[in-house]
Homo-oligomer: A and B are copies of this chain.
Amino acid sequence: MEIFHTAEVLSRDEIAHVQSRRLARTVKRAAKSPFYKARLAQTGVDPDSITSVDDISRLPLTTKDDLRESYPFGMLADEHRELVRLHASSGTTGSPTVVYHTDNDLRTWADLMARCMFMAGIRKDDVFQNMAGYGLFTGGLGIHYGAERLGCLTIPAGAGNTARQLKLIRDFNVTALHIIPSYALYLAGVVAEQGMDPRDLPPRIALIGAEPHSEEARRRIEEMLGLKAFNSYGLSEMNGPGVAFECEHQDGMHLWEDSYIAEILNPETLEPVAEGEVGELVMTTLTREAMPLLRYRTRDLTRFIPGECACGRTHRRIDRIAGRADDMLIIKGVNIYPMQIEQVLLAVPEVAQNYQIVLHREGFIDQLTVRVEIKEEFFVEDMRALGSIQKRIAGLLRNELLVTPRIELVEAKSLPTSDGKASRVVDMRDKQG
């Protein structure tokens, strides 16, 4: 096995040792920020008393609201003059969140990102097209610096403009790319419409992320584009992309434990879940200088995959994100994640790319309707055939969700799509009387 950095194969003892040393340093550094200085004092934690990774549970949790409330400078643990970058969320609701970086922070981030790309099989000789949006959004520059660190010929294509994306892919013989999952399916559809086989496009590797998607969506991307698609995990509070990534075995994402301490907590009790159970991912930065974060609640639900990975890397794997703690829909008292619905739908061969989840209320009863696009060849006049597909989908969803949804079959390409992320849940319940 080729690795990008020897840190990827440290023994578990060595990882614990690195984590302990870096956690102690991180807490001392965090305590220089106005926010953590106050928070640590408030919770009675002496920064000097944190010496081991086992002390992590004594540290206070940090939430997105904490970030918002300490905007713009409250989380800053660094003298202004060492900062070289900031990224900020668009902040359409309330204050934006901002993350600052020193030169070392950017270097570490690029190294982690390069590690991820290398793990997915990308090498110096690849031509890499980055379709993540550049600018304040962390995807574009984050992935860009990783690709450059790896030494790929990098095309900073940015998001959107499908005709240009395809022209670049073809003209420069692009062998690897970063793309949002729903856009990958859209792109494949555009090529098919041009009368060409999307599998003939040169890319052999796609990095997919920035949007929740199911295993079925990944398999479809792989089949339609004739490549291997690798899941990635990142969030702007932890730099952006480069936090966790799949290796060639595509069985969970190795999370870089020399740079982050990851915990999985029950989002209600805030206690660790049992080994292998799903809970909220909580993360602590270990290498960030400008703005360390302690036990940050990501709101993302996942689990640690038990056991060792066949690739030989020792960093634990997290499972694909099962949803956001905030995305959970409660329907008739049952917890449902949109990802469960996608997973069922995309396993049905007659189902096309798009679907929509609509929640409304009838009297006092929540009603779940799922609108499903059916591939052209199956969307025929024969009402009986359609009725049978409808029943099959309803049955599969009931088994998965334990709630019986209404199924509406619609023609392919009749549901709203966007060039960027798909928005697939329409909750009408708050808007009703």
Contacts and interface: CB of A to CB of B under 8 A. Distances in A.
Interface of A: 71-72, 80-81, 83-88, 90-91, 96, 100, 103, 106, 124-125, 134-136, 140-141, 144, 148, 151-158, 164, 167-168, 171-172
Q: Oligomeric state, in number of copies?
A: 2
Given A90-B164, A134-B134, A84 B158 contact: no
A84 B126 CA distance: 10
A155 B168 CA distance: 28
Nearest to A160: B135
Given A84-B153, A85-B153, 4 more contacts: A134-B134, A135-B156, A141-B144, A141-B156
A172 B86 contact: yes
Nearest to A170: B72
B83 A153 contact: yes
B125 A81 contact: yes
A140 B136 contact: no
Contacts of A154: 84-86
Given A134-B158, A157-B135, A148 B84 contact: yes
B172 A72 contact: yes
A85 B172 CA distance: 12
Contacts of A153: 80, 83-86, 100
Nearest to A128: B84
A155 B80 contact: no
Contacts of A148: 84-85, 103, 106
Contacts of A91: 167
Contacts of A158: 134-136
A372 B9 CA distance: 69
Nearest to A290: B153
A388 B125 CA distance: 68
B140 A134 contact: yes
Contacts of A85: 148, 153-154, 156
A157 B136 contact: yes
Contacts of A80: 125, 153
Contacts of A125: 80-81
